[in-house]
Chain A
Amino acid sequence: MDLFKKIFSIFAAISFFVSLALPAQAKVEGDTIILGAAVSLTGKYSTNGEHTQNGYNMAVQRINDMGGVTVGGKSYKFDIIYYDDESDSGRAAQLAERLIKQDGVQYMLGPYSSGLTKAMAPVTEENQIPMVEANGASRSLFTKGYKYLFAVLSAANQYLEVAIDLAVEKNGGNPVNIAMAFEQDAFSQDVRIGVVEAAERTGSTIIIDDKLPKELNDMAATLAKVKATKPDVLVVSGHSKGALTAIRQISEMKVDIPMLAMTHCDASKLAKQHGKNSEYALCAAQWHKTLSYSDSFFGDGQQFDKDFNDMFGYAPPYQAAESAAALLVYKAAFERANSFDKEKVRDALAQTDMQTFYGNIKFNDTGQNIAKPMVLFQVRCEGDVCANRVVAPTKWASHELVHPIPSWSTR
């Protein structure tokens, strides 16, 4: 039995040291305001998790370099505690609790993806910790009466509604036939809700409605059906992997469709990876560098694009831009609250009404940003160089929408 006692005391000692190794930090240490974030550094969202983290880091550095956050006449710097949620919603919920309970974090930043945000929001809400999130677009986040959740982005159901409207418009105002394929995850299924509603509104018919497995890498069955039924528009959503898979197989199978609407074209660097094969794909985005918004930290979109490129070596997808904007919202809220009291910070967040390089930000009662529209762009190529060109809304459109997409035999 001594042996068991020994084992027991060893583990008691280990747990004691682990608890020492993780001292509960205060929300504000010295002249540093500590924010907590769980982002996907590994797993299926690792690419977008990295965009999120880079966006956060760039904004923290910029704000700190430009004098930090002034509260009570004193200047504070931002710092972020990161954990890796492994693209796993169970893990994300645990990490939210860990950041709050063990690390003593009082202000949270969101993770990447709707699913993970949905997993974390109940925890932050129960603990009454404000969370400004930039990558959780699911509409159900805004119907739960959450008081401490603030999203700087437009809801997922708004992503591709515009595309359906465009298709109807191009069809002379007549209803269209829609084929759609969505990944089985929170975000894509929310995009689906938006498309279904748009179809009902315009009287359009959904002729193919496929659900695709997670980590989408084959949709040949859907495309075979598309080839046979010839719909007016094909809608695909499945994060970056879904966008890449769709283009790869559409070009391999030479599927002709008048309109192809997708998400995550810029995060997956579609135009670069698939070049001319991706031409004419229509993509929903939260932000594009050519939009005419600006602020005093990042300048305008073009400037942000350049600075981000210098720092990380690639063009910023909108995931990075919205993440950076989340920090600007926090900074402004701290200064307006002029306090570190989380309730006061929450109230200040709720009153946010500002312009950033990423767009206008103003929250409604449910914490949703209602001041910023979605944009649609189309991949267009000049020679062998392909890029995303804004085609809607008309205010920022730099190019005309090409419709219908030329058939593969002529491309």
Chain B
Amino acid sequence: MNNKIIFYGLIVAFGLVVPFLFPAFKLQISIMLILIILSLTWDVQGGQMGYNTFGNILFFGLGMYICSSFQIGLFFPLAEWTASGGEKTFVHTPTQFFQGFAVGLVLSGIIPALVAALIGYGILGLRGHYFAICTLGLGIAAGELAGGIELVGAGQGMTSPPWPKGIGDTELRSEFFYYICFTLMVCTFLFLRWAYTTRFGLVLNAIRDNEDKAEAMGINTMRYKITGWVVSAFFVGMAGGLMGNMIGYIEPVETAFAGRTFGVFMVLMAILGGKGTLWGPVIGAVAFHIFKEGFWIFFLGWQYVALGALIVIVVIFFPEGIMGWFREKYPERFGEVIDEEDRKAEVKLN
């Protein structure tokens, strides 16, 4: 137990000093933290519950739009902010900026969570491929819809409020968003770590292993499935709100409902790291981000080919992901007791 506390303490300490160790990489690392949140929350459905969702990107985009809309709408007319591709300029005072940001960020968690509860009731009744395809449609439809809503800039996108003038420079801005991202990541991780130790976690696993049996045993699986999705939507939505602020420009299909990039990445990262484990998605996200950024430099124009090759390698050599591979190699470290005598015993077939 002591070891664990030291280990977590070290990670948190490392996280706190990172902006000073790698000052040029603050945005990159912040985005990595967002990716960790995305893969952790995807794993609630995809890994623990066995429901492969492509729809979590819906909450990411919603969170992005909601956060920025409230940040703007609380102080200025939103329709004027986005009119004609954002021709008019409004400037937030620091107080307005931070008040708006706090309200926007909280709502960017709550509203997607409500949406998840509403649509979850219908969609989570689907299983297997049907569920996957249905959720795939969600993200695409949301992107097209957002592209038609004039209030949020439609196809021209909208800018999120720029960092207010008069309080620090771009360094302070990146540090601010880095620490918010870090806090959100830690909260997500701790919450899920706790949730997986409760009955909730066990039920999710039961649903994955045999949903009919779980139901037959008297578990209201739908309730748990919806709760799981609400949890994911809450954290993904907040991650989206943060991302919108960090990037500064929200485009319906490229940044908000970016099914082709973040929507796919979150699945990939969880699988790369090992789905159904707590640490797998974290390790997967870190490894993925480092590889991806590396490929972007060294294989300019061929980065997706290199990424494809990496996926093929993972599928062939690490079908269970990085954590799965470790688990197979060192099962005793994962609390699996191995009877050495039994293991070495000769097996005789009749």
Give CA–CA (A122, B157) in the complex, Å: 14
Give CA–CA (A139, B287) in the complex, Å: 41
Q: Which 3 A-B pairs have the closest CB atoms?
A: A184-B155, A90-B255, A140-B85
Residues of B close to A14: CB separation below 8 A: 290
* A251 on interface, CB distance cutoff 8 Å: no
B306-330 to A contact mask, C-beta < 8 Å, 1/0:
0000000000000000000010001
Give CA–CA (A24, B287) in the complex, Å: 22
A94-120 to B contact mask, C-beta < 8 Å, 1/0:
100110011000000000000100110
* A93 on interface, CB distance cutoff 8 Å: yes
Which of B22-30, B120-128, B203-211, B212-220 touches A? B22-30
A189 touches B85 (CB 8 A): yes
Q: Which of B85, B162, B279, B290 contacts A126 (CB 8 A)?
A: B162
* A397 on interface, CB distance cutoff 8 Å: no
Residues of B close to A185: CB separation below 8 A: 155-156
Residues of B close to A211: CB separation below 8 A: 147-148, 154-155
Residues of B close to A18: CB separation below 8 A: 290, 293-294
A47 to chain B minimum Cβ distance, whole angstroms, is: 13
B residues within 8 Å of A by Cβ?
3-4, 7, 10-11, 14, 22-28, 31, 84-89, 144, 147-148, 154-157, 159, 162-163, 170, 173, 243, 247-249, 251-255, 258, 261, 279, 283, 286-287, 290, 293-294, 296-297, 300-301, 303-304, 326, 330, 333
Once A101-B24, A139-B84 are accepted as A-B contacts, the answer to whether A90 and B155 lie under 8 Å apart by CB is no
B249 touches A93 (CB 8 A): yes
Give CA–CA (A19, B157) in the complex, Å: 33
* A190 on interface, CB distance cutoff 8 Å: yes
- Offer 26 A-B interface pairs, CB within 8 angstroms, sorted by A: A4-B279, A8-B11, A42-B303, A42-B304, A83-B300, A84-B300, A89-B251, A90-B251, A93-B248, A115-B156, A118-B159, A119-B255, A122-B159, A122-B248, A126-B162, A126-B173, A127-B170, A139-B84, A143-B87, A184-B147, A184-B148, A184-B154, A189-B85, A211-B147, A211-B148, A214-B253
Residues of A close to B333: CB separation below 8 A: 3
Q: Which of A84, A101, A190 contacts B296 (CB 8 A)?
A: A84
Give CA–CA (A123, B246) in the complex, Å: 10
* A7 on interface, CB distance cutoff 8 Å: yes
Near B by CB (< 8 A), chain A positions 181-233 give: 183-186, 188-190, 193, 211, 213-214
Give CA–CA (A88, B11) in the complex, Å: 33
Near B by CB (< 8 A), chain A positions 6-39 give: 7-8, 11-12, 14-15, 18-19, 21-22, 24
Residues of A close to B170: CB separation below 8 A: 126-127
Give CA–CA (A345, B249) in the complex, Å: 27
Residues of A close to B22: CB separation below 8 A: 15, 19
Q: Is the interface of B mostly helix, strand, loop or mixed?
A: helix
Near B by CB (< 8 A), chain A positions 141-187 give: 143-145, 183-186
* A138 on interface, CB distance cutoff 8 Å: yes
A1 touches B3 (CB 8 A): yes
Once A90-B251, A118-B249, A123-B248 are accepted as A-B contacts, the answer to whether A189 and B156 lie under 8 Å apart by CB is yes
* A293 on interface, CB distance cutoff 8 Å: no
Residues of B close to A101: CB separation below 8 A: 23-27
Q: Is the interface of A mostly helix, strand, loop or mixed?
A: helix
Once A102-B24, A126-B170, A214-B253 are accepted as A-B contacts, the answer to whether A90 and B247 lie under 8 Å apart by CB is yes
Once A3-B330, A140-B85 are accepted as A-B contacts, the answer to whether A188 and B155 lie under 8 Å apart by CB is yes
* A82 on interface, CB distance cutoff 8 Å: yes
B243 to chain A minimum Cβ distance, whole angstroms, is: 8
A70 to chain B minimum Cβ distance, whole angstroms, is: 31
Q: Which residue of A lies closest to B1 (CB)?
A: A1
B301 touches A42 (CB 8 A): yes
* A349 on interface, CB distance cutoff 8 Å: no
B251 touches A115 (CB 8 A): yes
Residue of B23, B31, B247, B252 with most partner-chain A CB within 10 A = B247
Give CA–CA (A233, B163) in the complex, Å: 44
Give CA–CA (A42, B302) in the complex, Å: 9
Residues of B close to A126: CB separation below 8 A: 162-163, 170, 173
Q: Which residue of B lies closest to A95 (CB)?
A: B296
Residue of B156, B162, B253, B294 with most partner-chain A CB within 10 A = B156
* A5 on interface, CB distance cutoff 8 Å: yes
Residues of B close to A246: CB separation below 8 A: none
Residues of A close to B14: CB separation below 8 A: 12
Residues of A close to B286: CB separation below 8 A: 11
Once A1-B7, A89-B157, A144-B89 are accepted as A-B contacts, the answer to whether A83 and B254 lie under 8 Å apart by CB is no
Q: Which residue of B lies closest to A44 (CB)?
A: B254
Give CA–CA (A90, B290) in the complex, Å: 18
Residue of B84, B88, B162, B258 with most partner-chain A CB within 10 A = B84
Residues of A close to B294: CB separation below 8 A: 18, 21
A183 touches B155 (CB 8 A): yes
A140 touches B86 (CB 8 A): yes
Q: Which residue of B lies closest to A140 (CB)?
A: B85
Residues of A close to B31: CB separation below 8 A: 94
Once A97-B27, A139-B85 are accepted as A-B contacts, the answer to whether A119 and B296 lie under 8 Å apart by CB is no
Q: Which of B155, B253, B301 contacts A186 (CB 8 A)?
A: B155
Q: Which of A86, A115, A123, A139 contacts B157 (CB 8 A)?
A: A115
B251 touches A138 (CB 8 A): no
Q: Which residue of B lies closest to A125 (CB)?
A: B162
